[in-house]
C-alpha cells in the first residue's frame, strides 16, 4: 500500500471517530434532559398524590378511586374501616368484590349514570370483607389525574335510613290493602268533590270502579237538594264545634235507588283544598228493616203476653219484675199490684216457700211441669201448675214462668186415682178367684182325661169306645180352656214369673211341630218351619213360655185356615252386646181379618167377632195371653191381616246366647206335613231324564201330579192345548227352546199372566236369579235339588187341595238289598238325600247316568268340531246338573268350568280334557259298582203265583200306575216274576221301558191288555 492510500485511510478513520464523538455528546445531552423531565414529572405526581391523599383522608365520607379496569387505586381510611379491608389488600381487590348483588347491582348503577358519567345519591347493597351486608348511598364522578381517567366514588352507610323507608313502604301497602278490602265505604272529599274512595264505597253507591268517581261532585250521593242541605248542615255544625260527625242519612245510588246509610266524618287537612273530609259509610238498610221487624214482633209478644189464657211472669231473684193480667187474676191481685212484690207472698209458710224454691230451682229449664200448692191474696189455697225457663243462659235477666190454676184438674185426678185403686183391688180379687177356681177345676179334669185315656186302651165295644173317645177329647179341650184361664189369672194377679235358662230353639220349635202336625194334617195344610242359619242354636230365656206363644199362634193359624199353608219363620234382627234380638213370625193363608177386628184382637175374651167364636170356638184368651207373655219377656207382638188374604203374626224378643253343650239339638223339621203338595198339578219342563226322575219322584211323593215336557216348546204345546197347571218348573237350558224363551212366550199370553213359573237351574249366582226374575219367573230353585227347599219354594206359590185323592205308597221291597256304591268322588249321602232317601231310585239314577252320559265328552267334542257351541254348552250344563244331583262333586265342577269356557268363547281344550278324564273315572267306577253279582246274573226261578195273587198284583200295580206314582217302578222290580207271569215276556219288556221313561199311561195300557187273558179287570 502506498502512502496516499494510507493517508486516505487515516483520514477516514479520523472522520469516523469525530462523528462518533459528536453522537455520543449529543446522546448524553438528550439523556440528561430526559432525566430532568422525568424528575419533574415524578415530583408533580408525588405532589398531586400527596394533595389527593390529604384531601381524602381529611374528609368524613368513605372514598375509593378505581381505574378504567375497576381495580382499586386508592381508598381512604374511612372506606377501609367501612368495608373491613387493609390497605395492603387493595392491590388484589376489584370493585365487583364489594357489591352484594354482583354484576346485576353494577348494571343498575351504570343505568342510573348521568351523561357525564356521574352518579348522584343512588342506593345499592354492599358486602364487607366478613360477608355482612349493608345498604349504601353512592355518589360518583370521573376525573382525570396526571393524564389518566379515574373514577372517584363516595359511599355512606344508609342501612338505617333504608330500613326506615322500607317500613314506611310496608305500612303504606298495608294501609292501602286495608282500605281496599274494608267492608265499610271510605271516601275522601275536598271542596265538595270526590277525591278518592275504596271499592266498597264504589260498590255501595253503584260506581263501576273507584277511578270513575274521582272529581265527581259529592251532590251525586244524595237523592235531592233538600237531603243534601239537611245533612250538610248537621255535618257543618259538628265540624264547627270541633267534633267528629256521626249520623244517618238517605243516600242515593247512581241508578237513582236510595238506601239508608250511617256516616262518620272527620275534617282533615289536604294540600290544595280549603275543606277536606274523610268519610266512613255503612249501608244500614237491612239493620233498619230488622229493627222494624223486631219492633213489630215485640208488639205481637206484648199482645200475646197480655191475651194469654195462662199466667205469665218474669221473675228475678225471687221478685216479680213484670206479669200479665191473667197471673194477677190467678193470685187475686189488682192490675199492677204484683209488680216488684216478692214471690214469698204466694206461699203459706216459710217452710213451704223454701220447698217451693228448691223444687223450682231443680225443675227450671226442664220441659216437664210441676204442681205446687200455693195461696191467693185472700189466703185460700189452690193447686198451681208451673213451668219456667231462664231468659239467658247465665240467668242475668231472670226467668219466665208460665202458671195455671189446676185445682179442679187435680181434684178430678185424685178421684180417678181412688177409683182406679178400687178397680185394681176388684181385679186382683177376681184374678185370685179365677186362679183358685182354675186349680180346683184342673185336679178333677186331670183324672177325667187320664182315666179316659187308660180306658181307651182296654177292650171296649165300638159304642163304648166312641163314648170314651168323645169324653177324652172334650176333657182335653176343656183342660186347654182351664189352662188359658189359669195363665190369664196369673198374669192379672202379677204372679207370672219368666225364667232365664239355656235352651235349644230348634227343640222348642220341633215340639210345637210334633204337637200340631196332626191337626194340620187333618185339614191338609202344609206346616213348615224355617229357622235362619245365622240364628244362634242355643239361647237363654224361657223356653216354656216361648213355646206356649208359638203354639198358640200356630194353633190359631191352623184353626182359621181351611186350605193352603201355615209357615213359621225365625230371623235374626240384631246382634247385641249381651245377646240377640230375634223375630218369630207365623203366616197363614186363612180367612184373614179387617182393621176393626185386628184392633181388638189382643183384648181378653175377644175374637174377630161373635160369629167367629161360634164357628171356630175358643175363649178369646189365647192371643191376650200371648201378648202378655211376649211383653213379660221384654218383646212386642203385632199382626198384619186382610180378609181373604190370610194373617201374619210376628213378635220380637231379646234373648241371651248360651254355649252349646252336650249332643246336638233335635233336627229341625223342614216340612211337618207329609203331603204338602196334595192335589197340586205341576208342569215340569226338563230335558234331562235323570233330573226328570228325581223331580217327579220327589214331587209325587209330596202329593203332586206331575206332567213332564222335554223342552220349552213341548211345555208351550201342553199349555196351549188347554192343560191346566198350578205352577211350572222351568229348566233354563233345553234343546229346541230354552227356559228363558219359553217363559217369555208364556208371559206374552194373557191367559197365563198369573201362572207361577219357577226356575230350576244349576246356576246359583245372584245374577242368574235376577235374570230369571226379570224374564218373568217368580222364584228360583238351584240344582242339585234340595227336597225341603224345593217343597218350601213351591208352598209359597201353590195351594194344596185337602180333598184331592192320593194313593198311598206301597211298602214293597226295593233294591235296598243291593248296597250303594262306594266310589272316589261320589257323595252317596248327598245323592241319596236328593233322591228323596230312596235307595232304589238312587241306584236307578246312577245306572241311567252311566248308560246315557258316558259318551258326553265325545258328544261335546263332536259338537265343537261342527262349530255348534250351543249344543256343546247344553251337554256340559246337563252333565253339570245331573252330576251335582247324584253327588259327583268333582265332575260337577269340571262340567261347570267347561260350560263357562264354551259360553265365553275362551280356549277349552284343557277344560274338555279334564272333564273327559273325570267323566271316565266316574262312569268306570259305576260300571264296576253296578254290575250284578255272578250269583244274581240269572234271575232265579220263582214259584208260580196263584190266580188270586195275580189279581192282587194287577190291582195294586194298576192303582200305582193310575196315580202316576213313582213307586210303581219299585213295585214292578220287586214283583217282576209274578208280573211277568201275568204280562208275558213281550209286555213285560214294554212295561219296563215305559216305566223307565215315566210313561205310566202306556204301562197301564199294556197291563190292561195283558190281564184280560187272565179274566182280571183293573
- Are 339 and 322 contacting, i.e. CB atoms less than 8 angstroms apart? yes
The strand ranges marked E within 557-685 are 565-576, 579-588, 636-641, 647-657, 681-685
Q: So what's the pLDDT on residue 341?
A: 93
CA distances from 137 to 65, 124, 620, 710, 915 (A): 16, 7, 113, 111, 98
Residue 479: is its pLDDT beyond 70? Answer: no
CA distances from 527 to 695, 696, 776, 992 (A): 21, 22, 28, 37
Q: So what's the pLDDT on residue 224?
A: 92
> How many C-beta atoms lie closer than 10 Å to residue 462's C-beta?
7
969/995 Cα distance (integer angstroms)? 6
Q: So what's the pLDDT on residue 803?
A: 60
| 644 contacts: CB under 8 Å, gap ≥ 6 | 591, 592
CA distances from 454 to 465, 471, 515 (A): 11, 12, 20
Identify the residue with better confidence: 171 or 64: 64
CA distances from 740 to 471, 757, 771, 928 (A): 59, 11, 9, 39
Q: So what's the pLDDT on residue 588?
A: 92
Task: Note the pTM of the prediction, 2 decimals.
Answer: 0.30
Residue 609: band (very low, low, confident or very high) from pLDDT cuts 50, 70, 90: very low
DSSP-derived letter for residue 826 is B
Which residue(s) pair with 570 in the sheet?
Answer: 531, 584
What confidence tens digit (pLDDT) does each residue in 566-590 have? Answer: 999 999 999 999 899 999 999 999 8
- Are 495 and 435 contacting, i.e. CB atoms less than 8 angstroms apart? yes
Residue 666: is its pLDDT beyond 90? Answer: no
The average pLDDT across 512-528 equals: 77
DSSP-derived letter for residue 215 is T
314/397 Cα distance (integer angstroms)? 9
Mean pLDDT, the chain, rounded, equals 80
- Are 673 and 700 contacting, i.e. CB atoms less than 8 angstroms apart? no
Residue 188: is its pLDDT beyond 70? Answer: yes
The average pLDDT across 105-131 equals: 82
Q: What are phi and psi for residue 128, nearest 5 degrees?
A: -80, 175
819/271 Cα distance (integer angstroms)? 124
What confidence tens digit (pLDDT) does each residue in 233-276 have? Answer: 999 899 888 889 999 989 999 998 999 999 999 988 878 788 88
Residue 213: band (very low, low, confident or very high) from pLDDT cuts 50, 70, 90: confident
Q: What are phi and psi for residue 649, nearest 5 degrees?
A: -105, 140
DSSP-derived letter for residue 722 is T
What confidence tens digit (pLDDT) does each residue in 302-319 have? Answer: 888 887 889 999 898 889
DSSP assignment of 357-371 equals: HHHHHHHTT-SS-EE
Residue 120: is its pLDDT beyond 90? Answer: no
335/306 Cα distance (integer angstroms)? 12
Question: HEC string of 853-905?
Answer: HCCHHHHHHHHHHCCCHHHHHHHHHHHHHHHHHHCEHHHHHHHHHHHHHHHHC
* Least confident stretch, 214-218, 424-428, 694-698, 994-998: 994-998
Using DSSP, state whether 628 is helix, strand or coil: helix
640/595 Cα distance (integer angstroms)? 9
Residue 550: band (very low, low, confident or very high) from pLDDT cuts 50, 70, 90: very high
Q: So what's the pLDDT on residue 744?
A: 94
What confidence tens digit (pLDDT) does each residue in 275-299 have? Answer: 889 899 998 888 888 888 888 888 8
- Are 861 and 913 contacting, i.e. CB atoms less than 8 angstroms apart? no
Q: Is the Cα dihedral 275, 280, 285, 289 positive or negative?
A: negative
Q: What are phi and psi for residue 435, nearest 5 degrees?
A: -65, -45
Peptide bond into 947 cis (omega under 30): no
Q: So what's the pLDDT on residue 611?
A: 47
* Least confident stretch, 22-36, 45-59, 966-980: 45-59
The strand ranges marked E within 799-918 are none
- Are 550 and 568 contacting, i.e. CB atoms less than 8 angstroms apart? yes
What confidence tens digit (pLDDT) does each residue in 710-734 have? Answer: 899 999 988 988 888 999 999 988 8
Helices 712-720 and 739-748, interaxial angle, to 10°? Answer: 20
Residue 671: is its pLDDT beyond 50? Answer: no
What confidence tens digit (pLDDT) does each residue in 795-844 have? Answer: 889 988 756 554 444 333 344 446 778 787 888 877 777 776 677 778 88
The percentage of residues in the chain with a pLDDT greater than 90, rounded to a whole number, is 18
Residue 8: band (very low, low, confident or very high) from pLDDT cuts 50, 70, 90: low
What confidence tens digit (pLDDT) does each residue in 848-877 have? Answer: 888 888 889 999 999 999 999 988 988 998
Q: So what's the pLDDT on residue 5?
A: 64
The percentage of residues in the chain with a pLDDT greater than 70, rounded to a whole number, is 80
Which residue(s) pair with 138 in the sheet?
Answer: 122, 155
Q: So what's the pLDDT on residue 933?
A: 47
Among 635, 628, 634, 640, which Cα is nearest to 651's? 635
Residue 366: band (very low, low, confident or very high) from pLDDT cuts 50, 70, 90: low
What confidence tens digit (pLDDT) does each residue in 752-809 have? Answer: 999 999 998 765 555 677 788 889 999 888 776 767 778 888 988 998 875 655 444 4
Residue 345: band (very low, low, confident or very high) from pLDDT cuts 50, 70, 90: very high
Q: So what's the pLDDT on residue 938?
A: 44
Cell readout for 353 is 216457700
The average pLDDT across 904-925 equals: 89
Residue 540: band (very low, low, confident or very high) from pLDDT cuts 50, 70, 90: very high
What confidence tens digit (pLDDT) does each residue in 392-438 have? Answer: 777 677 888 899 999 988 888 888 888 888 877 776 676 666 655 65
Within 13 A of 567's CA, how many CA atoms are on the CB side? 20
Residue 382: band (very low, low, confident or very high) from pLDDT cuts 50, 70, 90: very high
Amino acid at each position: 500500500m502506498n502512502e496516499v492510500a494510507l493517508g486516505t485511510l487515516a483520514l477516514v478513520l479520523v472522520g469516523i471517530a469525530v462523528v462518533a464523538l459528536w453522537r455520543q455528546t449529543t446522546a448524553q445531552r438528550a439523556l440528561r434532559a430526559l432525566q430532568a423531565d422525568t424528575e419533574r414529572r415524578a415530583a408533580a405526581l408525588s405532589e398531586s398524590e400527596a394533595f389527593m391523599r390529604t384531601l381524602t383522608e381529611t374528609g368524613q365520607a368513605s372514598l375509593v378511586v378505581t381505574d378504567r379496569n375497576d381495580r382499586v387505586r386508592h381508598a381512604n381510611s374511612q372506606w377501609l374501616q367501612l368495608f373491613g379491608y387493609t390497605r395492603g389488600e387493595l392491590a388484589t381487590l376489584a370493585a365487583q368484590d364489594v357489591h352484594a348483588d354482583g354484576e346485576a347491582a353494577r348494571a343498575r348503577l351504570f343505568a342510573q349514570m348521568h351523561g357525564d358519567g356521574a352518579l348522584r345519591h343512588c342506593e345499592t347493597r354492599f358486602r364487607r370483607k366478613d360477608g355482612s351486608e349493608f345498604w349504601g348511598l353512592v355518589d360518583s364522578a370521573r376525573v382525570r389525574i396526571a393524564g389518566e381517567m379515574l373514577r372517584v366514588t363516595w359511599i355512606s352507610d344508609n342501612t338505617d335510613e333504608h330500613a326506615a323507608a322500607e317500613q314506611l313502604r310496608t305500612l303504606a301497602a298495608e294501609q292501602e290493602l286495608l282500605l281496599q278490602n274494608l267492608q265499610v265505604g271510605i271516601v275522601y272529599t275536598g271542596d265538595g268533590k270526590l277525591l278518592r274512595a275504596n271499592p266498597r264505597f264504589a260498590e255501595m253507591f253503584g260506581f263501576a270502579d273507584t277511578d270513575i268517581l274521582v272529581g265527581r261532585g259529592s251532590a251525586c250521593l244524595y237523592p235531592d237538594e233538600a237531603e243534601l242541605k239537611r245533612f250538610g248542615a248537621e255535618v257543618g255544625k259538628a265540624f264547627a264545634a270541633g267534633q267528629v260527625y256521626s249520623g244517618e242519612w238517605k243516600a242515593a245510588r247512581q241508578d237513582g235507588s236510595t238506601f239508608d246509610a250511617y256516616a262518620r266524618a272527620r275534617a282533615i287537612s289536604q294540600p290544595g283544598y280549603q275543606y277536606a273530609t274523610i268519610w266512613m259509610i255503612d249501608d244500614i238498610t237491612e239493620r233498619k228493616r230488622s229493627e222494624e221487624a223486631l219492633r213489630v214482633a215485640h208488639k205481637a209478644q206484648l199482645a200475646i203476653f197480655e191475651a194469654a189464657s195462662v199466667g205469665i211472669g218474669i221473675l228475678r231473684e225471687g221478685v216479680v219484675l213484670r206479669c200479665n193480667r191473667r197471673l194477677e187474676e190467678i193470685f187475686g191481685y189488682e192490675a199492677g199490684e204484683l209488680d216488684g212484690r216478692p214471690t214469698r207472698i204466694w206461699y203459706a209458710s216459710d217452710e213451704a216457700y223454701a220447698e217451693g224454691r228448691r223444687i223450682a230451682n231443680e225443675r227450671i229449664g226442664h220441659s216437664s211441669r210441676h204442681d205446687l200448692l200455693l195461696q191467693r191474696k185472700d189466703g185460700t189455697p189452690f193447686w198451681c201448675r208451673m213451668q219456667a225457663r231462664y231468659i239467658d243462659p247465665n240467668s242475668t235477666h231472670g226467668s219466665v214462668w208460665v202458671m195455671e190454676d189446676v185445682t179442679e184438674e187435680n181434684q178430678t185426678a185424685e178421684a180417678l186415682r181412688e177409683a182406679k185403686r178400687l178397680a185394681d183391688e176388684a181385679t186382683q180379687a177376681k184374678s185370685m178367684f179365677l186362679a183358685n177356681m182354675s186349680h180346683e177345676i184342673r185336679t178333677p179334669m186331670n183324672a177325667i182325661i187320664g182315666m179316659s185315656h187308660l180306658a181307651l186302651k182296654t177292650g171296649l165295644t165300638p159304642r163304648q169306645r166312641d163314648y170314651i173317645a168323645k169324653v177324652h177329647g172334650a176333657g182335653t179341650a176343656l183342660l186347654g180352656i182351664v189352662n188359658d184361664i189359669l195363665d190369664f189369672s196369673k198374669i192379672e194377679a202379677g204372679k207370672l214369673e219368666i225364667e232365664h235358662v239355656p235352651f235349644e230353639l230348634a227343640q222348642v220349635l220341633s215340639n210345637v211341630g210334633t204337637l200340631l202336625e196332626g191337626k194340620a194334617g187333618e185339614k191338609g195344610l202344609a206346616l213348615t218351619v224355617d229357622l235362619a242359619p245365622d240364628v244362634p242354636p242355643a239361647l237363654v230365656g224361657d223356653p216354656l213360655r216361648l213355646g206356649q206363644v208359638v203354639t198358640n199362634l200356630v194353633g190359631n193359624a191352623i184353626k182359621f185356615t181351611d186350605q193352603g199353608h201355615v209357615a213359621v219363620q225365625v230371623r235374626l234382627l240384631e246382634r247385641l252386646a249381651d245377646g240377640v234380638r230375634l223375630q218369630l213370625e207365623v203366616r197363614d193363608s186363612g180367612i184373614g181379618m179387617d182393621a176393626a177386628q185386628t184392633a181388638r184382637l189382643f183384648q181378653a175374651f175377644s175374637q174377630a167377632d161373635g160369629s167367629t167364636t161360634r164357628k171356630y170356638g175358643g175363649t178369646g184368651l189365647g192371643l191376650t195371653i200371648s201378648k202378655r207373655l211376649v211383653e213379660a219377656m221384654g218383646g212386642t207382638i203385632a199382626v198384619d191381616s186382610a180378609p181373604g188374604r190370610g194373617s201374619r203374626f210376628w213378635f220380637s224378643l231379646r234373648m241371651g246366647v248360651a254355649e252349646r253343650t252336650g249332643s246336638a239339638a233335635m233336627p229341625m223339621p223342614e216340612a211337618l206335613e207329609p203331603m204338602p203338595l196334595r192335589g197340586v198339578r205341576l208342569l215340569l219342563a226338563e230335558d234331562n231324564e235323570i233330573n226328570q226322575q228325581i223331580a217327579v219322584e220327589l214331587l209325587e211323593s209330596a202329593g203332586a201330579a206331575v206332567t213332564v215336557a222335554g223342552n220349552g216348546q213341548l211345555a208351550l204345546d201342553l199349555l196351549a192345548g188347554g192343560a191346566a197347571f198350578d205352577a211350572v218348573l222351568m229348566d233354563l237350558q233345553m234343546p229346541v227352546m230354552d227356559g228363558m224363551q219359553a217363559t217369555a212366550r208364556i208371559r206374552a199370553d194373557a191367559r197365563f199372566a198369573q201362572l207361577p213359573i219357577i226356575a230350576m237351574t244349576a246356576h246359583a249366582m245372584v245374577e242368574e236369579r235376577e235374570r230369571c226374575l226379570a224374564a218373568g219367573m217368580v222364584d228360583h230353585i238351584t240344582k242339585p235339588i234340595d227336597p225341603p227347599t224345593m217343597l218350601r219354594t213351591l208352598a209359597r206359590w201353590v195351594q194344596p187341595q185337602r180333598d184331592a185323592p192320593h194313593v198311598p205308597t206301597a211298602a214293597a221291597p226295593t233294591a235296598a238289598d243291593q248296597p250303594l256304591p262306594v266310589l272316589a268322588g261320589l257323595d252317596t249321602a248327598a245323592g241319596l238325600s236328593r233322591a228323596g232317601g230312596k235307595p232304589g231310585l238312587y241306584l236307578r239314577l246312577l245306572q241311567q247316568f252311566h248308560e246315557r252320559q258316558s259318551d258326553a265328552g265325545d258328544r261335546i267334542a263332536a259338537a265343537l268340531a261342527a262349530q255348534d257351541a250351543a249344543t256343546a254348552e247344553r251337554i256340559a250344563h246337563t252333565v253339570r246338573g245331573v252330576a251335582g244331583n247324584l253327588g259327583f262333586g268333582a265332575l260337577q265342577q269340571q262340567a261347570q268350568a267347561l260350560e263357562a269356557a264354551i259360553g265365553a268363547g275362551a280356549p277349552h281344550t284343557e277344560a274338555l280334557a279334564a272333564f273327559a278324564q273325570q267323566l271316565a273315572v266316574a262312569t268306570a267306577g259305576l260300571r264296576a259298582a253296578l254290575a250284578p253279582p255272578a250269583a244274581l246274573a240269572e234271575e232265579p226261578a220263582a214259584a208260580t203265583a196263584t190266580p188270586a195273587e195275580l189279581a192282587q198284583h194287577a190291582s195294586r200295580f194298576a192303582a200305582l200306575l193310575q196315580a202316576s206314582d213313582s213307586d210303581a217302578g219299585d213295585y214292578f222290580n220287586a214283583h217282576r216274576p209274578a208280573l211277568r207271569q201275568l204280562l208275558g215276556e213281550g209286555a213285560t219288556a214294554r212295561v219296563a221301558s215305559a216305566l223307565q221313561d215315566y210313561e205310566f199311561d202306556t204301562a197301564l195300557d199294556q197291563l190292561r191288555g195283558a190281564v184280560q187273558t187272565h179274566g182280571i179287570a183293573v
